[in-house]
């Protein structure tokens, strides 16, 4: 669960910004909400190949899978300097990027958010403030990393869970947290807002559904990614 240091910084850093300032940031454009895998040097973040593997959720914060996290060319192209590794595997490029390792399994019983989100918030904030771009990744980029990203959106953008889900789903349609993580997200929303905009649906596959019958776009999930 350690944090590795990087030996590399971008030559031109972005203006300093904190997580608190993210509330006012606009969503990334369709061309920027992009993502990689098997991408060549001639491909860019707007290519179809990239969009299958990584996407910008809000400026400076990206979500992706392990394939994207393995690709140094990709990470450098989108300006990543720090990574939140939400897998059981070791950090991939500790000599090139800063890391926060959150070693958790993708199982409904796993304590992901209560034990780890405060530390992730503080760590991401330190890098955003320093002008660094951060990638949050897990093996498939759809359950563990998505749950962490939804937690970040609830905190830094003041969104309801359904608003955060809609925002994240637009950037990366493949996301689907497992049932246990959905429950943790509902508990997080209730602790932050005193109420819930979403609830876990009555299915063994799990779904976050609007509490009051709002938009029909629910979070369809499965137990293991």
Least Cα distance to 131 among 5, 7, 4, 11 occurs for 11
Least Cα distance to 11 among 98, 132, 135 occurs for 132
Dihedral sign for Cα atoms in the order 107, 116, 169, 15: negative
* Torsion angle (degrees, nearest 10) of CA 74, 90, 121, 113: 120
End-to-end CA distance of the chain: 21
d(CA 209, CA 217): 8
Sorted by sequence, the CB contacts under 8 Å of residue 145 that are 6+ apart come out as: 63, 64, 65, 84, 86, 136, 137, 138
Contact status, residue 91 vs residue 72, Cβ threshold 8 Å? no
Catalytic residue among 83, 138, 182, 186: 138
- Annotation says 138 is catalytic: yes
Catalytically active residues, by annotation: 138
């Amino acid at each position: 669960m350690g944090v590795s240091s990087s030996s590399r910084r971008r030559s031109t850093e972005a203006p300093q910004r904190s997580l608190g300032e993210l509330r006012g940031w606009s969503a990334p454009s369709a061309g920027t909400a992009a993502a990689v895998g098997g991408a060549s040097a001639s491909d860019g973040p707007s290519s179809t190949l990239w969009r299958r593997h990584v996407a910008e959720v809000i400026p400076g914060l990206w979500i992706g899978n392990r394939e994207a996290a393995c690709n140094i060319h990709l990470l450098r192209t989108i300006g990543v300097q720090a990574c939140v590794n939400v897998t059981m595997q070791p950090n991939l490029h500790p000599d090139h990027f800063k890391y926060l390792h959150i070693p958790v399994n993708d199982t409904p019983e796993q304590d992901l958010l209560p034990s780890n989100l405060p530390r992730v918030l503080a760590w991401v904030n330190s890098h955003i403030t320093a002008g660094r771009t951060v990638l949050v990744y897990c093996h498939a980029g759809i359950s563990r990393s998505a749950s962490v990203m939804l937690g970040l959106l609830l905190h830094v953008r003041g969104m309801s869970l359904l608003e955060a889900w809609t925002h994240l789903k637009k950037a990366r349609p493949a996301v689907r947290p497992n049932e246990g993580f959905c429950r943790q997200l509902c508990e997080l929303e209730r602790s932050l807002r005193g109420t819930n905009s979403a609830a876990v649906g009555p299915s063994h596959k799990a779904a976050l559904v609007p509490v009051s019958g709002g938009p029909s776009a629910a979070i369809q999930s499965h137990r293991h990614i």
